[in-house]
Amino acid sequence: MRALQIYRPETAEPLNQLVNILLRGPSTLSRGERELIATFVSSRNDCFYCQTMHGAVAAYHFGGNENLVAQTKLDAEKAPLTEKLKALLDIANNVRQGGKHVTVEVVDKARKAGATDLEIHDTVLIAAAFCMYNRYVDGLATWAPDDPEFYRERGERLAKQGYFSFARRFTALSQFIISAVTRILSHRPSWMPKRRH
């Protein structure tokens, strides 16, 4: 994912802002619940990188409970979740299949389980956004590590720090290095040989 951000930093910034707002912004849904929605959608879309990375973030928010994440991905209805979250995951799964699959019945079920209109709205938007992220990552054949520890460490960092634009930081670091090298070369020490033309 970082390679994609570096390749196209102009799009990396708004994509990171969106995921930050959706998964970390003010909400009556916990960060763990929102990460679990993103993980669930990504697993149904068979996006290894997104389901594993966001699953690690979700597990961190749920006290390191990786089993909860695995159970949710396998069968959300049988996972030890609230009825409200199960209903929201059902909405998310319907969004994944196509927006018109989100029927009045599916929405009413979520409302009866205690979901607010804002929570339903945000669930639809998280699901729609992650369909895009999943297709972006897999559509460009992004390399994904296999090591579970990599995802645990990165997941904890994302849970604590959020989704920053690596591309912006990489660009800033590159500009700093170029600037520093330029300054050094412009004040060339006497021992450094002069370039021949």
Domain topology for 13-165: AhpD-like (1.20.1290)
Query: Half-sphere exposure of residue 92, counting CA atoms within 13 Å on the CB side?
Result: 31
Angle at 172 between CA 168 and CA 173, to 5 degrees: 115
What is the Cα–Cα distance from 81 to 87, expressed in whole angstroms?
Answer: 10
| pLDDT, tens digit (0-9, with 9 covering 90-100), for 153-170 | 999 999 999 987 544 554
Q: Structure pTM? A: 0.82
CB 59 within 8 A of CB 155: yes
What is the Cα–Cα distance from 97 to 197, expressed in whole angstroms?
Answer: 64
pLDDT one digit per residue (tens) for the chain, 197 residues: 667 777 788 888 889 999 999 999 999 999 999 999 999 999 999 999 999 999 999 999 999 999 999 999 999 999 999 999 999 999 999 999 999 999 999 999 999 999 999 999 999 999 999 999 999 999 999 889 999 999 999 999 999 999 875 445 545 544 555 565 566 666 655 555 555 55
Kindly list the domain boundaries of the chain, sorted by start residue. 13-165
